[in-house]
Structure 1
Amino acid sequence: MKTKCPKCKGIGSVVVDHKECDACGGTGYEDDLFDVGSHFKGVNSKARDKFDLGGDEDIPCEVCNGKGQVEVFEDCPYCNGTGQINVCRDCGALIGEEEDVCSDCMEKRKVEKMKHDEYVARQNQVRDVYVLDAMCNMRDMDKDKLYKGKITRVERYGAFVTLNNNVWGLMRGDVSDYKVGDDVIVFITAIKSRENKIDLAPAYVDKYRLIRLTKSIPRTLINQLDEKKGKIVRIDGEVQQIQQTSGPTIFIISDESGTTEIAAFDKAGERSYPEIELGDAVQVVGEVNEHSGKTQIESSSMAKLSEENTKKLHALIDKALNKRAEPADVDFLVKSDVLNRLKPKMREAARRIRRAILDGRTILLRHHNDADGICAGVAMEKALVPLIEEINPSNDAQYYYFKRSPSKAPFYELEDVVKDLSFALEDQERHGQKLPLIVLLDNGSTEEDIVALMQAKIYDIEVVVIDHHSPGELLSKDVEDGEIYGATVAVDEYVDCHVNPYLVGGDSQLTAGALATEVAHIINPSVKDLIKHLPAVAALGDRAECGEVYQYLQLASEKGFTKEHLAKIAECVDFEAYFLRFMNGRGIMDTILAVDNIDKHQKMIDALYKEYQKRIDTQLKAALPNIKRTQLENGIYFNLIDVEKYAHKFTFPAPGKTCGFVHDHVIKELGEDKPIVTLGHGPDFGVFRATDAVNEEFGFNVNDIVATMIERVPSAGIDGGGHECAGSIKYIEGLGEEVLYKVVEEIQSLSKK
């Protein structure tokens, strides 16, 4: 900063000496005469006027003002003759020309700035303030932390602050602004362990976050809780489910070793720890006890883990659950090249299902409502329910975590997915359950399934399909030594795991019941003897014939089941399924399939089969006389029956079954080796049945016929499909005759290979 030089007062020069005045010769006065040119004149009148002198007084010298001497000047050495100097803005000390403040003041400025920045940072800093849980005591306190407490008493010398039921202290100083019941943030000034006292002081913080401080005790794994009954433990885990009862709130918590219940109670019917949500990683401290025969923890505290600890816990749990979810390496029930090629997919399906159980997700099982689909569903149910009950602590775990529902159509209909999504979202809202894993058995592979599967995928629901229906055109395939070892189809975009023999070069003769039973055996090998006869029942119910079927029949015979008895079981399953409709009939189907209530099995089969035969006979008496038979020009025996007009309505057998029985009757007359096609139709639907000979000799395929009809009669709104030799077609009633006419044309146009 520039300022006047203090030495020269801003003049730029200073007096260094004195010398005799040249003007007056050192006398200090002027002469009376002054020189003008070379002449002397009279007295200088101006000088007299200036000094106000009389005529006879001496006149002082104007140069030296009568002193006789004058000052000698030199440039001021302090400012170098400039008259200005550069000084520190803060202290005024002389500094260099290029500087603004001196080094000392610069250091002071830095210190002051640091103090200011620290103050600002402290004001803007979000401080951690700890709330003690009920288990903490003085040994869990730290002088470097802030705590939240409540004023419980105010005295003239200070206020008593309670941090929890075990810890309290005196906040000294002026407490006139506080009253009982006020929340206050404090820090510790002294911990007097011997006296069991703490001295506190108020902490003035603008921004802070509350952190629950739990009892500092070592972590216990859930599978060790049985050894800790009556003791205080700490577990770290993930919230799988939250159930609000009329009393406590029940949290289902899992870690890498297992799952347990946490009971938390504030008020009857009131949600405890409302900040805790489904999927949160939490730390729980409480006492281990027993409730209804199950180990349970009565919570003293529950708090979310920090972000870092959450990541560590999730990684630990994920690794452990993946290891536990890995299925056992077991052999198939029969020898099969197709099964061997499908093994990686089947093991993947088993792993996904086991992992869903360990994750606490509901297994939502959907299967076709016929003998094949029901055998698949029951086999899977018998494998999964014991695992679900083993993993989950509640007595009704199987009802929370497992649902089996039949589907009328051989594909996943919109009606089905709407129900499934509605119940899943409602269970998530009401009972705090995770979204389910959907397992589709004997459906899920065809293009008809895609619309429903797309809806499930909107909610990121995992889907596993185990099916034997033709999935249509292969989009890609991996071939090795002439065998397909992997392929993708249209539906694969919407499912997470797809098990289907067509994807490895097989066909529909290896039924869904067989595939699901094999996967169930991989998931839970202990159920092998209970379910190993079910593939034979499924095969007979679906009229399947292949090498694997004969092996499954042999396997069933080891349990004492003859082929005739197995066929009766399959027919009774179909019969009972008609009346159960959308119910799974768990107890009844278990008895019919001889997987439970074995003592009642034979009586049930005898009663149902007798009524089954009676109703079939009644239906055939009405239908057989009204079959329109013809042998087409290409040699195919074609049979047409109007099941709407010539069959009993709203009773067993349904139109599809009626068509099947009519077809079987024609086969008995003509022989199985003949190319026979039977079409049962109604106002807006048709049902196909055909012998293998038609498929082998003429390439007959229901799915191809449906696809052709969609192109030929686009206005009829056609859809449908199924197996090569058994399936259905739907259309608009008003165009029914045209569709049927073109179907017959298409069959007639088939030629031998």
Structure 2
Amino acid sequence: MKTKCPKCSGLGSVVVDYKECEACGGTGYEDDAFDVGNHFKGVNSKAKAKFDLGSDQDIPCEACNGKGQVEVYDDCPHCKGTGQINVCRDCGKLIDEKYDVCTDCEEKRKVEKMKHDEYVARENQVRKVYVLDSLCQMSDMDKDKLYRGKITRIERYGAFVSLNKNVWGLMRGDVSQYHVGDEIIVFITAIKSREGKIDLAPAYVDKYKLIRLTKSIPRTLIGDLEKKMGKLVRIDGEVQQIQQTSGPTIFTINDESGVTWVAAFDKAGERSYPEIDLGDAVQVIGEVNEHGGKTQIESSSMIKLSPEQTDKLHALIDNALDKRAEPPHVDFLVKSDVLNRLKPKMREAAHKIRRAILDGRTILLRHHNDADGICAGVAMEKALIPLIEEINPSNDAQYYYFKRSPSKAPFYELEDVVKDLSFALEDQERHGQKLPLIVLLDNGSTEEDIVALMQAKIYDIEVVVIDHHSPGELLTIEEENGEIVGATVAVDEYVDTHVNPYLVGGDSQLTAGALASEVAHIINPSVKDLIVHLPAVAALGDHAECGEVYQYLELAAEKGFTREHLAQIAECVDFEAYFLRFMNGRGIMDTILGVDNLDKHDKMINALYKEYLKRVDTQLKAALPNIQKTQFENGIYFNIIDVEKYAHKFTFPAPGKTCGFVHDRLIKELGEDKPIVTLGHGPDFGVFRATDAVNEEYGFNVNDVVSALAERIPSAGIDGGGHECAGSIKYIEGLGEEVLSQVVLEIKSMSKN
């Protein structure tokens, strides 16, 4: 910066020497004031006036002002004669002309800029504000951190701020703008003692993020909690269920080692930790104790884990539970090529069911309400309940986590899925339960199941199907050595695991009861002796005939069940199921099937079987005289009866069963090797029964007949299906006669293969 030179005052020159004044000769006075003889000659009036001299005073020299000397000037060395110099803008120090500030001031400027930048950055940064968990003590405090607290009391000298139940401090000064209950961000100005006396001051921050400051406690696996009774522990796990009681909130938590319960209490009947949702990964700190015979944690704190911690924990739990869910390797109850080819799918089904139990999901079991379906359901029930109670050691675990319900139709009806979804969603909302795993037994394979399955899949509910009904056309086929070892069908799009003998080249003679019993044995091998006779009951109830059936009969005989007794059991199951309708009849069916209450089994069978025979006899007396019997030119024996008119209504046996009994009586008359078809019909339905001979010789298949008629009479609204030789058809009542006429024409037109 250019400024006036201080050395020469901007003149550009300075005095460098002095010389005698030439005007006065060094005397300092004017020459004309004296004569030659040094006598006063007279005074110059002008000089006298200038210097204000008296008449008798000498006159100073105007050139040197009476000094007798004059200055000798030269260029100012400081500004080199320019009269200006370049100085530092900040301190005024002389600097080179090419600079604006000196090096010292430049360094100061850099420091000041850094301080300014730090200040701006500090003002703009998101500050960390810590929230103490309930276990933190004064020893966990740090003067360099900001904390969130709550004002609990206000006095004239300041406000008391609680950071948690253990740490509080006094915020001094004017607190008139605050109220009790206000949350405030503070910093520590003084820690006066480690017993809890601290001074606080408000921290004014605009941008901040809350960080939970937790007591550093090593993690304990849930499986090890019993060893920590009465001690403070920390567990990390996933929330399986949230249940609000009239007192505490009960959280069901699982990790890779097991399941436990956490009791949290704020106020009676009030939800604790409302920010915690089902499926969240959480960290719980609390004391281990026992409640109602099970290990429980009294929660001191519960927080959600960070996204990174959540992903890590979920992966850890998922891998551990997958290993625990892996079913043991056991042999099948009988030797069977079909079962061997189905083994991967059966083990997959067993794995999914075991995994659902470990996940804390309810197993929702649906099965057809006949002997085959009930045997399948009971076998699975006996295998699953012990595992459920082992994982969830409470008296009512089997009722929370297992439901078995019969289905009237041999497929998953809309009525069934609506009930199942309604209860599942209600349990999720009211009791915090996860959505269930649906297991369909003796139904779920046909196109009729698809609409119901689609609804379940809308809610991402996992579905396992174990069935022996024909699934229709095989969409893809995998073969080895000329045998089908795998296939996909239409329903597979909506099913997670599908076990069906048709998918590996088998047929319906291997019943759902047998398949479910084998899967139950894989899931829990300890139930083998309890359920080993159920496949034989299922086979006799479904009139199945194959190599596996004979082996199952032999196994049942080894347990003391004769074929005749097994047949009676199957018939009693069907009889009792009619009256149970939509109830599962757990205790009654256990007695009838001989899996529980064995001391009452024989008495129950004797009582029911007598009544069963009586009612069947009454129904046949009404029905047999009214059968219309015909043998077509193609050799097929066709029998038809109106079960609506010529059978008792609203009693056992129902129309489908009545048709079956009529068909069995006709087989006895004509012979088992004859091609016989029996149709029992009402105003808007029909029930088919056929012998294996008509299927083998003529290719008769109920599903094909229903499909052909539906295409031929689209206005009749035809629907139905089932097994090849046993099934049903539905239609509009007004077109009933036309449908029945077409049924007759369809069977008449069949020819031998």
Q: Give TM-score scaled by structure 2 length.
A: 0.85
Paired with 1:689 and 1:250, the residues of 2 have a C-alpha distance of 54
Match of 1:223 in 2: 223
Task: Determine helix, strand or coil for the equivalent of 2:435.
Answer: strand
Match of 2:232 in 1: 232
Structure 1 residues 26-75: Cα deviation after superposition (integer angstroms, max 9, x where no partner): xxxxxxxxxxxxxxxxxxxxxxxxxxxxxxxxxxxxxxxxxxxxxxxxxx
Match of 1:444 in 2: 444
Task: Determine helix, strand or coil for the equivalent of 2:299.
Answer: strand
Match of 2:245 in 1: 245
Q: Cα gap change, 1:481/1:169 in structure 2, threshold over 3 Å: closer, same or farther?
A: same
Match of 2:680 in 1: 680
Paired with 2:100 and 2:449, the residues of 1 have a C-alpha distance of 81
Task: Determine helix, strand or coil for the equivalent of 1:303.
Answer: strand
Code of the aligned partner of 1:613: L
Superposition deviation, residue 293 in structure 1: 1.1
Paired with 1:296 and 1:603, the residues of 2 have a C-alpha distance of 45
* 2:631 aligned with 1:631: yes
Q: Cα gap change, 1:204/1:711 in structure 2, threshold over 3 Å: closer, same or farther?
A: same
Match of 1:273 in 2: 273
Kept in 2: contact 1:159–1:175 (CA 8 A) = yes
* Correspondence list, 1:290-329, <5 A: 290-329=290-329
Moved more, 461-470 or 229-238: 229-238
Task: Determine helix, strand or coil for the equivalent of 1:590.
Answer: helix
Task: Determine helix, strand or coil for the equivalent of 1:267.
Answer: coil
Match of 1:549 in 2: 549
Match of 1:204 in 2: 204
Superposition deviation, residue 136 in structure 1: 2.2
Superposition deviation, residue 313 in structure 1: 1.0
Task: Determine helix, strand or coil for the equivalent of 1:435.
Answer: coil
Q: Cα gap change, 1:194/1:431 in structure 2, threshold over 3 Å: closer, same or farther?
A: closer
Match of 1:534 in 2: 534
Paired with 1:717 and 1:104, the residues of 2 have a C-alpha distance of 100
* Correspondence list, 1:450-599, <5 A: 450-599=450-599
Paired with 1:706 and 1:734, the residues of 2 have a C-alpha distance of 18
Kept in 1: contact 2:465–2:495 (CA 8 A) = yes
Code of the aligned partner of 2:282: V
Superposition deviation, residue 230 in structure 1: 1.4
Kept in 2: contact 1:260–1:393 (CA 8 A) = no
Code of the aligned partner of 2:213: L
Superposition deviation, residue 104 in structure 1: 8.2
Match of 1:721 in 2: 721
Code of the aligned partner of 2:316: L
Code of the aligned partner of 1:701: N
Match of 2:350 in 1: 350
Q: Cα gap change, 1:115/1:426 in structure 2, threshold over 3 Å: closer, same or farther?
A: farther
Match of 2:644 in 1: 644
Structure 1 residues 702-744: Cα deviation after superposition (integer angstroms, max 9, x where no partner): 1111111111111111110000000001111111111111111
Paired with 1:104 and 1:411, the residues of 2 have a C-alpha distance of 93
Task: Determine helix, strand or coil for the equivalent of 1:286.
Answer: strand
Code of the aligned partner of 1:628: Q
Match of 2:67 in 1: none
Paired with 1:703 and 1:581, the residues of 2 have a C-alpha distance of 26
Paired with 1:496 and 1:359, the residues of 2 have a C-alpha distance of 17
Structure 1 residues 574-628: Cα deviation after superposition (integer angstroms, max 9, x where no partner): 1111111111111111111111111111111111111111100000000000000
Paired with 2:387 and 2:547, the residues of 1 have a C-alpha distance of 32
Flag structure 2 segments of 5+ consecutive residues without an equivalent. 6-10, 14-78
Task: Determine helix, strand or coil for the equivalent of 2:362.
Answer: strand
Q: Cα gap change, 1:152/1:407 in structure 2, threshold over 3 Å: closer, same or farther?
A: closer
Match of 1:138 in 2: 138
Moved more, 386-395 or 265-274: 386-395
Structure 1 residues 193-235: Cα deviation after superposition (integer angstroms, max 9, x where no partner): 6665445443222233444433321111111111111111111
Kept in 2: contact 1:88–1:94 (CA 8 A) = no
Q: Cα gap change, 1:734/1:327 in structure 2, threshold over 3 Å: closer, same or farther?
A: same
Code of the aligned partner of 2:184: V
Kept in 2: contact 1:158–1:171 (CA 8 A) = yes
Task: Determine helix, strand or coil for the equivalent of 1:403.
Answer: strand
Code of the aligned partner of 2:671: G
Match of 1:150 in 2: 150
Paired with 1:328 and 1:704, the residues of 2 have a C-alpha distance of 41
Code of the aligned partner of 1:536: A
Q: Cα gap change, 1:104/1:341 in structure 2, threshold over 3 Å: closer, same or farther?
A: farther
Q: Cα gap change, 1:15/1:164 in structure 2, threshold over 3 Å: closer, same or farther?
A: closer
Paired with 1:504 and 1:256, the residues of 2 have a C-alpha distance of 36
Superposition deviation, residue 177 in structure 1: 5.2
Paired with 1:501 and 1:743, the residues of 2 have a C-alpha distance of 29
Flag structure 1 segments of 5+ consecutive residues without an equivalent. 9-13, 17-76
Structure 1 residues 518-550: Cα deviation after superposition (integer angstroms, max 9, x where no partner): 111111111111111111100100000111101
Paired with 1:534 and 1:320, the residues of 2 have a C-alpha distance of 34
Q: Cα gap change, 1:151/1:543 in structure 2, threshold over 3 Å: closer, same or farther?
A: same
Kept in 1: contact 2:162–2:169 (CA 8 A) = yes
Task: Determine helix, strand or coil for the equivalent of 2:436.
Answer: strand
Q: Give TM-score scaled by structure 1 length.
A: 0.85
Kept in 2: contact 1:89–1:100 (CA 8 A) = no
Kept in 2: contact 1:95–1:101 (CA 8 A) = no
Match of 1:186 in 2: 186
Match of 1:62 in 2: none
Paired with 2:602 and 2:636, the residues of 1 have a C-alpha distance of 41
Task: Determine helix, strand or coil for the equivalent of 2:561.
Answer: coil
Identity percentage over the alignment?
84
Match of 1:669 in 2: 669
Number of positions where the alignment pairs a residue of Structure 1 with one of Structure 2: 689
* Correspondence list, 1:70-85, <5 A: none
Match of 1:735 in 2: 735
Q: What is the aligned-residue RMSD (CA, Å)?
A: 3.1
Paired with 1:172 and 1:330, the residues of 2 have a C-alpha distance of 74
Paired with 2:518 and 2:685, the residues of 1 have a C-alpha distance of 35
Paired with 1:236 and 1:128, the residues of 2 have a C-alpha distance of 24
Paired with 1:91 and 1:387, the residues of 2 have a C-alpha distance of 90
Superposition deviation, residue 639 in structure 1: 0.4
* 2:378 aligned with 1:378: yes
Paired with 2:464 and 2:363, the residues of 1 have a C-alpha distance of 10
Kept in 1: contact 2:87–2:101 (CA 8 A) = no
Paired with 2:732 and 2:92, the residues of 1 have a C-alpha distance of 101
Match of 1:63 in 2: none
Paired with 1:218 and 1:720, the residues of 2 have a C-alpha distance of 61
Moved more, 156-165 or 136-145: 156-165
Paired with 2:747 and 2:413, the residues of 1 have a C-alpha distance of 28
Task: Determine helix, strand or coil for the equivalent of 2:364.
Answer: strand
Task: Determine helix, strand or coil for the equivalent of 2:734.
Answer: helix
Kept in 1: contact 2:168–2:196 (CA 8 A) = no
Code of the aligned partner of 1:577: A
Code of the aligned partner of 2:203: A
Task: Determine helix, strand or coil for the equivalent of 1:553.
Answer: helix
Code of the aligned partner of 2:722: G
Task: Determine helix, strand or coil for the equivalent of 1:361.
Answer: coil
Match of 2:417 in 1: 417
Kept in 2: contact 1:214–1:285 (CA 8 A) = no
Code of the aligned partner of 1:469: H
Paired with 1:302 and 1:108, the residues of 2 have a C-alpha distance of 52
Superposition deviation, residue 132 in structure 1: 2.4
* Correspondence list, 1:27-42, <5 A: none
Moved more, 629-638 or 216-225: 216-225
